[in-house]
Structure 1
């Protein structure tokens, strides 16, 4: 990948998301989930009927101060995306929460996830005025190592909080990126 190949774009309002982008988001989410990715649907396989309403909720909630969508494309193909949200309640308005970080499985290992996370950090700090970011990650799939390489710190765990199957309980790992 060269810097010229990757296009990072953010969306801050529902009308900015075209039908083509919406469909690409749905397809990516199905692909990521069905390959075992921990991106919001715990029980694969899923199909477009399940992913589309979830994408629509994210797109419908986009607003400059409270919810942004960040996408990564290469030559017009969506290769990854994420959503960052903040609550405007005074006590917690200084931090945001990262949701649904995903890159297409066939495109992993090329730096797209790192590029998304780097751009997110700038947007959260410089445009949204956030001081820290939080996320919850599924244990047992190496996510804490990925985020750790990017400066995130594990701040806690909920042991066996996620039950993926009768004998497959996973920790939910709570992570923090601060300062931005």
Structure 2
């Protein structure tokens, strides 16, 4: 069954808690910018930063709900504030719940994000970064993103475990 996507949903306590649960579970599985073990209290300040950016008009949220109505996927669009870079957006906190991985939901999320960006007007590309060493760049590449940069050993997962920061771009034209 497919996800149901909503762009710019109302931020309710249920949505907030659903995203916190998703982000914590994805992080526990090894993704989304934290290193296990992860507690909701560690994730909450990062989520609040996204919500503040949304309230200020600097970000938008795309959320996917599964057939049970549970938050199963997210992506945050962040707009560039530099006047020479307003023609592309960042895609942050791209997540699909681990229990749904392997069902094609990641592709659905990226297709929905592409459609949303195309509908924003004036957006010519989506840019994101991912942690090397997990095969994510191959996944994003299979969805049309191109690797346009790599910063070696920029992400320190643990002492002695440094990963590349991989920069991916999806042109919309």
Same fold (TM over 0.5): yes
Alignment of structure 1 residues 1-180 onto 2, 5 Å: 1=1, 3=2, 6-11=3-8, 16-37=10-31, 39-41=32-34, 43-62=35-54, 66-74=58-66, 75-180=68-173
RMSD: 1.6
Query: 1:96 & 1:168 partners in 2: Cα distance?
Result: 30
Query: 1:128 & 1:56 partners in 2: Cα distance?
Result: 26
The offset of 1:156, in angstroms, is 1.4
The offset of 1:65, in angstroms, is 5.7
Query: 2:15 & 2:116 partners in 1: Cα distance?
Result: 20
SS in 2 for 1:137: strand
Q: Could you report, residue by residue, the CA deviation over 1:110-131 in whole angstroms, capped at 9, with x for unpaired residues?
A: 1211111111111112224310
SS in 2 for 1:92: coil
Aligned in 2, Cα 1:54/1:27: closer, same or farther, shift over 3 Å?
Answer: same
More displaced stretch, 72-81 vs 122-131: 122-131
Indicate if the aligned counterparts of 2:145 and 2:169 stay in contact, CA closer than 8 A.
yes
The offset of 1:76, in angstroms, is 0.7
TM-score normalised over the length of structure 1: 0.89
Query: 1:165 & 1:88 partners in 2: Cα distance?
Result: 33
Indicate if the aligned counterparts of 1:64 and 1:128 stay in contact, CA closer than 8 A.
no
Indicate if the aligned counterparts of 2:123 and 2:172 stay in contact, CA closer than 8 A.
no
Aligned in 2, Cα 1:134/1:148: closer, same or farther, shift over 3 Å?
Answer: same
